[in-house]
Structure 1
Amino acid sequence: MVTHKMSITNQNKVVILIVPLPLQGHLNQLLHLSRLISTYNVPVHVITTTTYGRQAKLRLQGWDPNTISNIYFHDYPIPSYASPPPNPNSANKFPSHLLPICEAATHLRGPVAALLHKLGPTTQRLVIIHDSLMGSVVQDFILIPNAESYTFHSVSAFSIALYISKQVGEQIQKSIEPQALTRELISFEGCFSLEFKTFISSQHEYTKLSLGRIYNSCRVVEQATLDLLEANARNNNKLLWALGPFNPVDIKSGSKVSRNDGGQVAKCLNWLDKQSPNTVIYVSFGTTTTLSQDQIIEIAIGLEKSDQKFIWVVREADKGDIFVNNSTHVELPEGFEDKVEDRGFIVKEWAPQLEILAHSSIGGFMSHCGWNSCMESISMGVPIAAWPIHSDQPNNAVLVTKVLKVGLLVKEWCQQDEVVESIVVENAVRTLMGSRDGEEIRKRAMVMGHRVRKSTGDGGVSQMELESFIRHLSR
């Protein structure tokens, strides 16, 4: 962890309340932001539901929340909600089975309001940082004279720019080489279920109450888009902060904690230790993706025929409650694991992604392009084989492959309803891991990773932006 010289010395001049959406990808980012803010001697209070608070702490990598004395967790129960299994055969790949937990989380408004009224008198300024999809939960801060809020977007600035402003979106499209872009690539068509679109709209309504927006991104990665968004923000008398990468960038792969249990995680990291640098591709589609059996078979055949070393995380999407009947039902082709045992490792549970990406043997990442995964991969200098599934992922894939050019596209979004054949998987892996084009992509990814990591050190643009944000809060 970087030691910051700057801190707020007046006791409780500023107190921060962080309100994440209780889904893994959202919670993870705001927990990492809590760590960054806490290094400036600022008390940070984190709201979670009872189940997701436990889940997030179990999965957190790079630091232990229980060892930081100025981060305070408030775990609240919420009304019971349906927790159906994910449907791998749904026509729309959006994880609609998670909508009930999102809707149930809006019932945190009462407990959050009570905590706001309790914290308000203890500080000169009470700052609320809330997920853009938890706007209704924090709305009562307007009743507290010394409170102000900031909206956190768990997706790329690139994706938000396309979502909130047609004019900005058109400017972005013009900046991407026309021959590399089809209209379908930059699109939200089919990315969400209709019900979730309604939920997004209902929560984004509250963004107008906040002073500005916060992104888990940095100038190194998204300078051009952030410039466009900043101009748009100024026109609306709002502020913008790019405070990323939130995830630790100096993480050491293979911590003692990860290897103590003797389970799959330990075996996975020990297996990586035996491989040569940049020879293994990591294949994972995140916590909200469940692939059909047909697609699992095609991936297996493609990986087998690629003749490349790989780690493949084969699991269903998280359920609304991962601690209740969360067994996986993903079946691999008969005999597959025996065929690839000399060069492949299968993980059938949640995997420590940061530690895997930080490992020297990892030379590529086949990913759904969730923003957590993109930022983690970029900050570790690992190139991406982009395979978007839903939500902001198609636009992130464009950012990674066409703008930053630190990845290649496995599947175009206009083919979203099609099963990707094994030959496509095989060719993508071979290209990224064993071709001249792949090596050029890897070199760009490594350079960008170095620049991102450097940006978080003393005098780096990311550290300076974070310090500017802290100064703003303590004004």
Structure 2
Amino acid sequence: MASNKEVVVAMVPFVTQGHLNQLLHLSRIISAYNLPVHFICTATHIRQARLRVHGPNSQNDNNNNIIFHELPDLDFISPPPNPNGPNGFPSHLIPSINSSLNLRGPVADIIRSLSKTSRRVAVVHDSAMSYVVQDVKMIPNAETYVFRALSVFYSFCFSFERLGKEIPFENETIRKIPTSAETMSREFLEFVKIQYSHQTFHVGNIYDSSRAIEGRFLEKLEKDEIYGKNHWAVGPFNGVKKLETDISASSQNRDTSLQWLDKQPSKSVIYVSFGTTTTFTDEQIKELAIGLEKSGQRFLWVLRDADKGDVFKNEEGKGVGLPKGFEERVQGRGLVVRKWAPQVEILGHSATAGFVSHCGWNSCMEALTAGVPIATWPFHSDQPRNAFLLVDVLGVALTMKEWASRNEVLTSAKVEEVIRKLMDTKEGTMIKKRAADLGDDLRRSMDEDGVTSKELDSLISYIRR
């Protein structure tokens, strides 16, 4: 070990889109502090992360402070998603998820190599990669930081669930939150359990969140030393202080969805998107389409199948399910997009007024930063708890589909009802106002003297100590 060398950061992301996206954004944030960042993952997943990264300056990760280490691709089957599966969990991803355990040796080799030329290696790893980085504890000048990719509220609830204790929350509606066993497949829960015993030697916890929105839950984790003493909420990772659309950009470089939004009135469009792990039946697509049409509101709908384990083997879009003549009837008022869409820019566009969402944490943070209210429609994993946070704690969302009704088809009448409520009622106006105010608070938290900025400075100082 050469003590006169610099401190470097090694990023070890999990292999699904939402997790890859977060740690690539965090890499860009940390590298701006003139800290070298080594992003370690398989070649295919690095390609996926870099191709899909979006937001302001989204292509600026080609700097000397981010070094990509492309590991050989893993061998796994990549079945298509099953919209008729027994629950909403994307079980078709399990082969890809389980294969990530095989990265232990290659990741350890790279970190050992980095440790020989660095004063210290700060290994920031997704909590779902704890097994993979277990050998770091044997490297004297390396230390680990657990990146908890979900909301602080989810970690808060999950910690008490693991201990078999009642969640200490004053709102009685907390009782309607489902357990992890209800929201995840048995196979994935087994994968998560493998990670537990390897989360005992980290020096701190990092969250894509902010004390501006989840401070009280973070304080409880700190007070009870749950997951350890050090907790840093340094989000939002989307890197946006003020989400604005550059309407002067040339049309040839501007996504078609943004060009369409440019033509719509301010705060008039409902954005509809369900992330990368959700696949609908044709029946549900039809009901959603009819509801959007009957609502009379402008809408932008991203209609894609869920990702496969290898996204480059995916077939883009979904060519069935829409009612006959639907797109012709809504032409000008509605747009259906069957490809990857620039969600950060869509949510930050002045025409966007609301968001029908599955409530994945990336989508939640992007909407919160933009000050856009949400109509919640959770499917699995952390999504029901995120929906509860948005509706019952922060008051910036309406419930479109209750978790208790998850196995039922959501009717077009319900879709129409909730969209109209958000867009055309006093209750909707109040929710939109709270969302806008919270967005202001969240963006201010990233100012030089803001709480998130101070938190990030604290993290960087700790890494460099």
Q: Tell me the distance in 1 between the aligned counterparts of 2:388 and 2:381.
A: 13
Deviation at 1:330, TM superposition (A): 4.5
Deviation at 1:136, TM superposition (A): 1.2
Q: Tell me the distance in 1 between the aligned counterparts of 2:252 and 2:27.
A: 27
Q: Tell me the distance in 1 between the aligned counterparts of 2:138 and 2:167.
A: 39
1:229 maps to 221
SS of corresponding position for 1:207? coil
Amino acid at match of 1:444: R
Of residues 315, 318, 322 in structure 1, which corresponds to 2:304?
Answer: 315
Amino acid at match of 1:412: E
Closer/same/farther in 2, CA of residues 285 and 34 from structure 1, 3 Å limit: same
Deviation at 1:172, TM superposition (A): 4.2
Deviation at 1:450, TM superposition (A): 0.7
Of residues 40, 47, 52 in structure 1, which corresponds to 2:40?
Answer: 47
With 416-425 and 164-173 compared, the bigger mean Cα shift is at 164-173
1:246 maps to 237
Q: Tell me the distance in 2 between the aligned counterparts of 1:373 and 1:271.
A: 21
State TM-score, norm by structure 2: 0.94
Which stretches of structure 1, 4 residues or more, deviate above 6 A after TM superposition? 255-258
Structure 1 residue 127 corresponds to structure 2 residue 116:
no
- Per-residue displacement from partner, 1:152-178 (whole Å, max 9, x unpaired)? 11100101111112479745432x2x3
- Per-residue displacement from partner, 1:291-314 (whole Å, max 9, x unpaired)? 111110110010000000000011
Structure 1 residue 15 corresponds to structure 2 residue 12:
no
Q: Tell me the distance in 2 between the aligned counterparts of 1:242 and 1:102.
A: 26
SS of corresponding position for 1:67? coil
Closer/same/farther in 2, CA of residues 314 and 118 from structure 1, 3 Å limit: same
Q: Tell me the distance in 1 between the aligned counterparts of 2:165 and 2:289.
A: 37
Amino acid at match of 2:437: V
Q: Tell me the distance in 1 between the aligned counterparts of 2:209 and 2:124.
A: 16
Q: Work out whether residues 405 and 441 of structure 1, in 8 Å CA contact, stay in contact via their aligned partners in 2.
A: yes
SS of corresponding position for 2:130? helix
1:53-132 matches, within 5 Å, as 53-61=46-54, 62=56, 63-132=58-127
Q: Tell me the distance in 2 between the aligned counterparts of 1:275 and 1:329.
A: 25
2:189 maps to 197
2:313 maps to 324
Amino acid at match of 1:399: L
Q: Tell me the distance in 1 between the aligned counterparts of 2:109 and 2:200.
A: 22
Of residues 137, 154, 160 in structure 2, which corresponds to 1:165?
Answer: 160
SS of corresponding position for 1:439? helix
Q: Work out whether residues 277 and 362 of structure 1, in 8 Å CA contact, stay in contact via their aligned partners in 2.
A: yes
1:183 maps to 175
Structure 1 residue 278 corresponds to structure 2 residue 267:
yes
Q: Work out whether residues 44 and 73 of structure 2, in 8 Å CA contact, stay in contact via their aligned partners in 1.
A: no
Deviation at 1:182, TM superposition (A): 6.4
Structure 1 residue 427 corresponds to structure 2 residue 427:
no
Structure 1: state its 5+ residue gaps.
Answer: 1-9
Deviation at 1:259, TM superposition (A): 4.7
Deviation at 1:48, TM superposition (A): 1.8
SS of corresponding position for 2:398? strand
Q: Tell me the distance in 2 between the aligned counterparts of 1:337 and 1:91.
A: 31
Of residues 125, 131, 134 in structure 2, which corresponds to 1:139?
Answer: 134
RMSD: 1.9
Of residues 12, 19, 30 in structure 2, which corresponds to 1:26?
Answer: 19
Deviation at 1:209, TM superposition (A): 2.1
Q: Work out whether residues 254 and 355 of structure 1, in 8 Å CA contact, stay in contact via their aligned partners in 2.
A: no
SS of corresponding position for 2:438? helix
Deviation at 1:30, TM superposition (A): 0.6
Q: Tell me the distance in 1 between the aligned counterparts of 2:93 and 2:159.
A: 24
- Per-residue displacement from partner, 1:198-225 (whole Å, max 9, x unpaired)? 0011123211121221111100110111
Q: Tell me the distance in 1 between the aligned counterparts of 2:299 and 2:138.
A: 54
Closer/same/farther in 2, CA of residues 318 and 211 from structure 1, 3 Å limit: same
Q: Tell me the distance in 2 between the aligned counterparts of 1:11 and 1:308.
A: 62
Structure 2: state its 5+ residue gaps.
Answer: none
Aligned residues with identical type, % of pairs: 47
Closer/same/farther in 2, CA of residues 360 and 172 from structure 1, 3 Å limit: farther
Q: Tell me the distance in 1 between the aligned counterparts of 2:164 and 2:208.
A: 19
Q: Tell me the distance in 2 between the aligned counterparts of 1:232 and 1:254.
A: 45
1:425-464 matches, within 5 Å, as 425-464=415-454
Q: Work out whether residues 216 and 246 of structure 1, in 8 Å CA contact, stay in contact via their aligned partners in 2.
A: yes
Q: Work out whether residues 93 and 389 of structure 1, in 8 Å CA contact, stay in contact via their aligned partners in 2.
A: yes
Q: Tell me the distance in 2 between the aligned counterparts of 1:212 and 1:170.
A: 25
Q: Tell me the distance in 2 between the aligned counterparts of 1:68 and 1:251.
A: 23
